[in-house]
Structure 1
Amino acid sequence: MLTALEVRLRRRRCPLSREPLSVPRRTFLRQAGVLAVAGPVLAACSGGLGGSGGGSTKLTIGFVSPRTGGAAGFGEPDGWVLDQARKALANGLQVAGKSYAVEVVDKDSQSNPQRSAQVANDLINSNGVDLMLATSTPETVNPVSDACEAAGVPCISSVVPWEAWYFGRGAKEGQPSPFKFTYHFCFGTEQFHKSYTSLWPQVPTNKKVGVMWPNDADGNAVRKSLGPLLTQSGYTIVDPGAYTDGTNDFSAQIAQFKAENCEIFNTFPLPPDFATFWRQAAQQGYKPKIAQIAKTGLFSSQIEAQGQLGIGLAGATYWAPTWPYKSSLTGLTSQQLGDGYSNALNKQWNQQLGPSVALFDVAAAALKAAPDPKNKTALAKAISTLTVDTPVGTLAWGKGPVPNVVATPILAGQWRKGTGRFPLEYVICENANDPNVPVASRLQPYA
């Protein structure tokens, strides 16, 4: 017996062929129902299933993040965040006078690009998600975004420098956006540059920066954009060249940094790679005055794993409990998010709390803004002009820096020995990208 979806699609004409979609059921299932290519086929013939959804009163949101694998630190607060989102959505959403139940289905990307694409296609084809959310590193976010773009499913993502998300997926500078269904909010290299050049002068150095920028989406975006900006600001970049993720011997790079007396060190590595590098740097006597790390060192668990070598590392923060903003979906302030997480799990606040909750703020606002939240084309259009309050600030699409992207602030600070409940504390040392966030201390030299 044919399903209702099959009947509707057989009756519908595909504008690409101008012929009725009348095929045997086995062929139909093989071409459009089972394989991952179902999304592109249906998107081409129906604008991403842009109809009303057949009167369905349930909305399904997919959520993909790295709970395990090399980037698992980003997924530490996921369970708590998902609990808050599901509670806030328990009574459903009212859209254009109609009530919708809301289901959230979460998947672990395992920090692996192939796995990310697989779970995204599972959510699209098996769960029939109306909206996808994805977060944390290009290894997770970019494959999920690509799968959604191909299938015509709206997707909102975060915590990938926007250049690595936008240009890393094939967009070209100065050309129209190739993306119709995928949207993003995150800081970029301009925000890193402004933050670093606000922080680094707090410690006198020779302005020579040894960089470890990998051969991946993040590293390539940083090398192309951040390096020239730092050079323009008077810093000398010492770059031994792009290294392969998973490298286990950094002796050559360390020797070069020592030989050229790089008093500032900067890196955007996968967390296990930095742990390997930093241990070898200590063994080989490289100890810069400023050790500025990104993509790792974001969470207390990663710094605690470094032992004494972690104290004094300078890091970046895209959210903290002192952010003066709140979630429009849950109503919780940033401080309440941090305190609630710590009290519930007896763990130190984790900066991923902010953008992960923000994803659900955006999801709820987008679904309510669409005239028909089951119409994927209409939902994507609603996101393109959306303005919504979140813990990371007010997000407003349609204002640049490029189509589909909202650039958010990133601030810099330093990990120090804790003075209270937890063994470590992160203190914010500059706020050039968002003066509304209070500064707690000046940067202290690492060496």
Structure 2
Amino acid sequence: MTRLNRRQFTGLLATTGLLLSARAALAQDTDTIRIGFCSPRTGPLAGFGKTDGYVLEQARAALTGGIEVAGKTYAVEILDRDTQSDPARAAQLAKDLINDGIDLMLAVSTPEVINPVSDACEAAGVPCLSTVMPWEAWYFGRGAKPGEPSPFKWTYHFGFGVGEFAQTYLSMWPQIETNKKIGVMYPNDADGNAVRAALAPQLEDGGYTIVDPGAYETGTTDFSSQIALFKSEGVEIINTFPIPPDFAAFWRQAAQQGLSRQIKIVQTAKTGLFPAEIEALGSLGEKIASAAYWHRDFPYSSSVTGQSSRALADGWEAETGEQWTQQLGASLSLIDAGIAALKAASDPKSKEAVRDALAVLNVETIGGQVDFTAGPVPNVAYGPILGAQWVKAAEGPFALDYVLVDNAPDPNVPVAAKLLPYNG
């Protein structure tokens, strides 16, 4: 080890003290609101975070002049972090942001990001708002019990749940005549376990037969046994909630082994949401059905940037040359709701005041209404998930278009097409 002389040691102490003082001063800045923002920009879930840089750029530009709360103007600083699709890293980044003195945490996309960030905030007493994962996997997956009071005092989540998936599926699937046999591919993770426990029974109540080969582990590379079961049972609908690489492996093998020829509806969630995932499947991607938690045809605008849904999507395409994705509106809706909570707080620098504002937040975002006064359980606000499908584009620079085929959870959103059979 290198020995320090007295002068070096004294200098080191001084430098350390200055750094700590600077951090403490920043954390105690009464004129600046600091917001943490965690999302998966890289790793297997990178599709969810791909557009976040653009969304944050739009939000920061709109917030340049700060926000006014109770007659006082506050500067707004957003500290964004890439979780790299790793739950352990997400937890550590959340702790680092908390130590940096954030006033509000925002977390977006999948249990692998949201749950560890939420848990860190709950433990530290920092208000946290999240979206884009089934609320059951967030609420019950973190220890809440049905019928019991919420164990969460600092963390809040808005968006779709299993009930919205069931409502959409049971509304859109009858557009195609099938034998109502569903082959389900639910992984052994927070999403998969939540939908197996809650979604499958609702589909059965709707008159469908579930063919379940059992939970598979994330990262599985051989799906021959599941494919063989689905072929032998004559399933005509596939319903799956995998990470993108797992679905790509499964569906390519399904095509190679002849399963895809008998499937009339391929209904994906957590994958099949973004153009790159569908393009990677080549010809196998066309007519895959998906579910949209935001779409460029949403009739809502951002309360932060003022952009309409169409303007947000068009702006992304004009700047990047790449096709819009539904994550654009989802991430911006999170910022819309977070800023609304800060504005509604009696003191945006008081964590208790921000938490109390979140608990009764009722605001329209670019993704629709976020209302924490209406349930479905404490700390959770409803959000829609609409039926959609990838079809050949009628015109334009992109091969496929993402069209809405069902709007049961939000009739305000227009439907553009009817569901087409995958093997038609």
Per the normalisation by structure 1, the TM-score is 0.87
**Structure 2 counterpart of 1:157:** 130
1:96 maps to 2:70: yes
Judging changes above 3 Å, is the alpha-carbon distance between structure 1 residues 137 and 54 closer, same or farther for their aligned structure 2 residues?
closer
1:413 maps to 2:383: no
2: CA distance, partners of 1:140 / 1:55: 28
2: CA distance, partners of 1:427 / 1:104: 33
2: CA distance, partners of 1:420 / 1:81: 26
**Structure 2 counterpart of 1:337:** 312
RMSD of aligned residue pairs (Cα, Å): 1.5
**Structure 2 counterpart of 1:215:** 188
Structure 1, 152-161 or 361-370: larger mean CA deviation: 361-370
1:85 maps to 2:81: no
Equivalent residue letter for 1:275: A
1:426 maps to 2:390: no
Report if aligned partners of 1:398, 1:404 keep a CA contact under 8 Å in 2.
Answer: no
**Structure 2 counterpart of 1:254:** 227
**Structure 2 counterpart of 1:391:** 366
**Structure 1 counterpart of 2:96:** 122
* Number of equivalent positions: 398
List runs of 5+ in structure 2 lacking aligned partners: 1-12, 21-26
Judging changes above 3 Å, is the alpha-carbon distance between structure 1 residues 55 and 68 closer, same or farther for their aligned structure 2 residues?
closer
1: CA distance, partners of 2:320 / 2:395: 17
1:438 maps to 2:414: yes
Report if aligned partners of 1:156, 1:183 keep a CA contact under 8 Å in 2.
Answer: yes
2: CA distance, partners of 1:158 / 1:55: 28
Equivalent residue letter for 2:47: G
2: CA distance, partners of 1:417 / 1:244: 33
Report if aligned partners of 1:328, 1:388 keep a CA contact under 8 Å in 2.
Answer: no
Report if aligned partners of 2:362, 2:373 keep a CA contact under 8 Å in 1.
Answer: no
Q: How does 1:20-419 map to 2 (within 5 A)?
A: 56-125=30-99, 127-287=100-260, 288-419=263-394
Equivalent residue letter for 2:283: Q
Deviation string 1:345-382 (CA, Å, 9 cap, x unpaired) is 11111101111001111111111111111110111011
Deviation string 1:302-331 (CA, Å, 9 cap, x unpaired) is 100000000110111111111011111111
2: CA distance, partners of 1:389 / 1:207: 37
Report percent identity of matched pairs.
61
2: CA distance, partners of 1:235 / 1:162: 24
Equivalent residue letter for 1:231: E
Deviation string 1:274-299 (CA, Å, 9 cap, x unpaired) is 01100111111101111100000001
2: CA distance, partners of 1:290 / 1:401: 29
What stretches of structure 1 move > 3 A for 4+ residues in a row? none
Structure 2 counterpart SS, 1:133: strand
How many angstroms does 1:420 deviate by?
A: 2.1
**Structure 1 counterpart of 2:9:** none
2: CA distance, partners of 1:295 / 1:137: 8
**Structure 2 counterpart of 1:3:** none
How many angstroms does 1:55 deviate by?
A: 6.3
List runs of 5+ in structure 1 lacking aligned partners: 1-25, 34-52
Structure 2 counterpart SS, 1:332: coil
Structure 2 counterpart SS, 1:282: helix
Report if aligned partners of 2:269, 2:291 keep a CA contact under 8 Å in 1.
Answer: yes
2: CA distance, partners of 1:233 / 1:396: 28
2: CA distance, partners of 1:236 / 1:128: 51
**Structure 1 counterpart of 2:23:** none
**Structure 1 counterpart of 2:8:** none
Judging changes above 3 Å, is the alpha-carbon distance between structure 1 residues 90 and 283 closer, same or farther for their aligned structure 2 residues?
same
Structure 1 counterpart SS, 2:35: strand
Deviation string 1:183-234 (CA, Å, 9 cap, x unpaired) is 1111001100010011111111100000000010000000000000000010
How many angstroms does 1:54 deviate by?
A: 5.4
Report if aligned partners of 2:371, 2:382 keep a CA contact under 8 Å in 1.
Answer: no
1: CA distance, partners of 2:348 / 2:38: 20
1: CA distance, partners of 2:28 / 2:329: 35
Per the normalisation by structure 2, the TM-score is 0.92
Structure 2 counterpart SS, 1:339: helix
Report if aligned partners of 2:28, 2:101 keep a CA contact under 8 Å in 1.
Answer: no
**Structure 2 counterpart of 1:21:** none
Structure 1 counterpart SS, 2:179: coil
Equivalent residue letter for 2:119: D
Structure 2 counterpart SS, 1:382: helix
2: CA distance, partners of 1:205 / 1:164: 30
How many angstroms does 1:419 deviate by?
A: 2.3
2: CA distance, partners of 1:183 / 1:355: 16
Structure 2 counterpart SS, 1:156: strand
2: CA distance, partners of 1:95 / 1:327: 19
Q: How does 1:13-24 map to 2 (within 5 A)?
A: none
Structure 1 counterpart SS, 2:299: coil
2: CA distance, partners of 1:54 / 1:325: 36
How many angstroms does 1:95 deviate by?
A: 1.2
